[in-house]
Structure formats: structure tokens, C-alpha cells
Amino acid sequence: MIEKNIPAILPLIFLAAALFIPLLGVWKKAVAYPIAIITVLVAASVSVYGFIYVLLNGTIRYFFGGWAPPIGIEYVYDPLASFVALVINFIALLVLTHGYHAVNIDVKDRQVAYYSVVMLLLAGFNGMIITGDLFNLYVFIEISSLSGYALIAVGEKRAPFAAFRYLIIGTIGASFYLLGIGFLYFMSGTLNMNDLSSILPFIKDSPTILVSLILIVIGIAIKMAIFPMHGWLPDSYTYAPTTSSSLIAPIGTKVGAYALLRLMLFVFGIDYFSKDLQVAELLAIFSCGGIIYGSIMAIAQKEIKRMLAYSSIAQIGYIGLGIGLANPLGFIGALLHLINHAFMKACLFLVAGNLRLKTGNSDISQMDDSFRKKYPWTMAAFTIAALSMVGIPPLAGFFSKWYLALGTIENNAWLYLAVILISSLLNAVYFFRILEKVYMKSPEKEKSSVNDQVDFNSEEVKPSMLMPVIALAVGLVVLGIFNVLLVDQIYKMMPAGL
């Protein structure tokens, strides 16, 4: 029965690929890319199949080694997990399709190692989504983080230092999480998420549980770069090579957000998280701070990738705010934004990568009318993604903000509503300033000193780099138009008691 094994297949094929790429790479270097892309393709198809199967037949539980939980490790493939797994594998497929040329240029002759680490990264992400065990989650967090540091460090000259900073901060986060589950384990005697959520109501008055909740929230908030803990993010995203940043930016922080969502709403439970304690309120306040801070810092940036990195901090704030609202509309908003933002950021980072490969840099100041003529499709995709980030109605970005806004109204949290509206305006400022240059500003007469090695002649980027960008842009329109179907499914994923 293949269906019963889907939860194990998803992380394991990536781990297997991570092993086989270097082994076969010794024989022939060119074999790395095909193995990687086929693995992601298989994972994406398995997760499509798994998603449909889970929606029709209900949650799949997989017990490793046949040991039933709480003794053994359990993988839970419920509608929520299958949906997020589908999204990230799909985006990974598109980014790696783009990587066919981008990795050639960025990484050159170390592709075998690069693709092997990419497979480890995806194994970590898939594992984080599917696992039903707290310690297993820690292991997968570390697998994805360690490969993330390596992927960032292969970038330009300053990248290793950015990666080192990320490593120090990320290790603090992961260790806090480990400490937190230590407290939980010694109080409850279990590491299984389901089991724990049924034990917690009996021991929730203990201050130890409170401490563990705080440690876990801080640990994961560092991983997902909630506002005061975002310090590692801008540098790492900016200096990483295109494929790395387009893998880590849309997927990495989202998986962190998913882990927070899972632990807070499904394990600790909505009552403990938002009513008995004010953790949810605090999370929402910090997220609002992040939304405003990220948007303002994004306006101040002169370089697209750095601007997108700051915008990521703001967008993660939306997801944190949705979780912090702790009501059904907030949950829908957070989950929708998790998906929409993954699509938008992947599209924008790939466009930034395309511009870098074509013109040698991605400074905003050099953009003008000629970009529209030279790269009409790339710029069209950029425009759609930018409009979606701002929240123009038929596009996907509008609906997540809409549900978040409804959620704040339901909680009578007018300040949060104001933050959402103001940040939409700020988004408009930093994206329209680029769009204005691309579509309105006529090129200056004297051609500024352009790097001669970069080919300015060929019109549009290569098809392998164009198709993923367009697919993501089309995806944004489709996600927006068929939004109702998606929200209907999200209602089924909601935790009990919300």
C-alpha cells in the first residue's frame, strides 16, 4: 500500500538523493542536476497524490519501525501537513527548474555538493512538516538549518560571514527549542504531539510548562525571523546565490511558521496559548512591530534582493499576527498568507536573480524603461507578484490580508487593523517605485559603465529561467481566483476548539 507510506516517502527520498548525488557525482558531475530535479518531481507528484488521498480518506499515520506512539516515532500526514508539503515541494520544483542555468552560473564546478545539500535542506523541510514527534522536529530543524547555512555561504564574498551570523543566532534558537521540549518531556513523559496535547490540560498549571512554552516560542520565532529576532535574515538573503535565496526565503521561514502554528494551536491548544496566558497577544504585538519595521526598512533599500529580504520580515509578521489572533479567521489568514507569500517571494526572488544574471547586479537605481522592452515577460511576472504583495483584489495576496483584517475586526483589535492597512500602503510605496521606473522612466542617453562580460544583447532570459517565474505569477492569479475552494479546504484543517 503506497498510500500508507507517503509520510515516510517524502523525507526519505530526499535523504536518499542527498546520499546518491555525491556517490554518483564522483563518476560523473553532470548527473547531479537530473537526480535532484527528478527527486523533487517525484516528491511533488507524491505530495499531490497524498493531498488528494488525505482529503478523501482522512489522515495517514505512519509508525516508524512499527512501534506505535507514544513509544515510537509517528509521522502524521493530516490535511494541513499534506497541503503545506504540497506547496513547498511544488515551489522547490519550480526553483530547481530555474536553477538549471542559475546554479551553473552561481556555483560553477561545485554543483554536486550543492545539489546534495539542497536535497538535505528539502528533507529537513519535509520532515519538519510531517513529523508528529517533538524531538524529531528538532532534528529536522537542525538538518534544514545546517544545510541552509551551507547554501547561503556559497554566495558572494560576504556570504560566509552572513551565514556564520545566521548559524550563531539559529543555534541559539534551536537550542532554546531543545531546552523547551526538555522541560515538556520531564513534566509529561512524552514527546509525541498528539499524546502531549491530551496530557497537557492536566499539568498546565505548572510553571515548568510555562517556561517550556516561552522557550519554544522564542526558539521557533528566531527560526522564522519574527521582528526582534530577525537580525540574521537580511544579510543572508542578500548575499546568498539566487537558487539558495529563492529556496530559503519562500520556504524556510514558512516552515518555521508552520511549526509554530502546529505547536501552538494543535499541541498547546488554543485555550492555553491565548486565554490562560497572553503569549498570543505578545506574538501579535511583535508581529505588528515586524510588519511596520520590515516595510519601512524595505523602502530604504537600494537593492532588490535586500528590499525583498526586509519585505520578508514584514510578511512573516502577517503570519505571526494571524497565529496570534487565535481565531478562525486569523488561522485562515495566516495559512493563506503562508501559501501566497511562498508563491510571491519565490517569484520575486527569481526575478531578482534573473536581473542579476542579466545585468550583473540588481540595483533599483539602474532600472528604467529599457528593462520592460528587454525582459517583457520577467517584468510582467514581477508586476503581478508586486501587485499581489500590495494586495490588489483578484490576486492571491489580497485574500490573505482580507481574512487577517476580518480576524482583527472579530477580536476588536483596531490597532492591528490599522497596522495591516498602513503596511499595505508601505508595500505599495516600495513596489510601485520599481514599477514606476520600469514602465515610465525613459532610459538615460549615455549608457553607464556596464560589465562587459554580461550579455546585454539577448533579449529575454533563458526559457528554463523564465518558465518558473511565469508559472508562479500564473499561480498567484489562480490562487486568487479559486480562493474560495482553498478556504473551504482550510476549514477542514482547523484545530479543535478554534
Partner 1 sequence: MFELIIGHYDYLFIVVLITIGLYGMIIKKNLVKKVIGMSIFQSAIILFYISSAVKYNSTVPILVDELSTSEVITYINPLPHALMLTAIVVGVATVGVAFALLVLIYKRYHTFDENELIERMK
Among 142, 281, 363, 460, binds partner 1 (CB under 8 A): 142
Cα angle 472, 476, 479 (rounded to 5 degrees) comes to 125
Task: Give the nearer residue to partner 1 in terms of CB position, either 110 or 462.
Answer: 110
The span from the CA of 366 to the CA of 347, in Å, is: 21
In contact, 112 and 21? CB cutoff 8 Å: yes
**What 3-state DSSP class applies to 74?**
strand
The three cell numbers locating residue 120: 538535505
Radius of gyration, alpha carbons of the chain: 22
Q: Does 157 bind partner 1 (CB under 8 A)?
A: yes
Residues 150, 247, 338, 347: which binds partner 1 (CB under 8 A)? 150
- Report H helices in 61-192: 79-107, 111-130, 134-153, 159-188
Residue 211 interacting with partner 1 (CB under 8 A): no
Place of cell 488554543: 270
Q: State yes or no: residue 64 binds partner 1 (CB under 8 A).
A: no
Cα 257–chain centre separation: 8
- Angstrom CA distances, 333 to 3, 192, 263, 309, stand at 30, 28, 18, 21
- Can you tell me which of 41, 62, 113, 160 binds partner 1, judged by CB under 8 A? 160
Q: Which is nearer to partner 1, 219 or 250 (CB)?
A: 219
Residue in 44, 94, 178, 438 binding partner 1, rule: CB under 8 A: 178
Q: Does 304 sit near partner 1 (CB under 8 A)?
A: no
Residue 186 touching partner 1 (CB under 8 A): yes
Contact 358, 436 (CB under 8 A): no
Find the binder of partner 1 among 8, 49, 171, 204 (CB under 8 A).
171
C-beta of 239 vs 310, nearer to partner 1:
239
> Binding partner 1 by CB under 8 A: which of 4, 29, 108, 158?
158
Judged by CB under 8 A, which of 5, 48, 175, 498 binds partner 1? 175
Name the one range near partner 1 by CB under 8 A: 185-193, 247-255, 328-336, 434-442. 185-193
Site string for partner 1, 375-404 (x = CB under 8 A): ------------------------------
Whole-number Cα distances in Å, 145 to 38, 83, 121: 23, 22, 8
Residue 451's nearest CA partner among 374, 363, 345, 387 is: 363
- List of residues contacting partner 1 (CB under 8 A): 135, 138-139, 142, 146, 149-150, 153, 157-158, 160-161, 163-164, 167-168, 171-172, 175, 178-179, 182, 185-186, 191
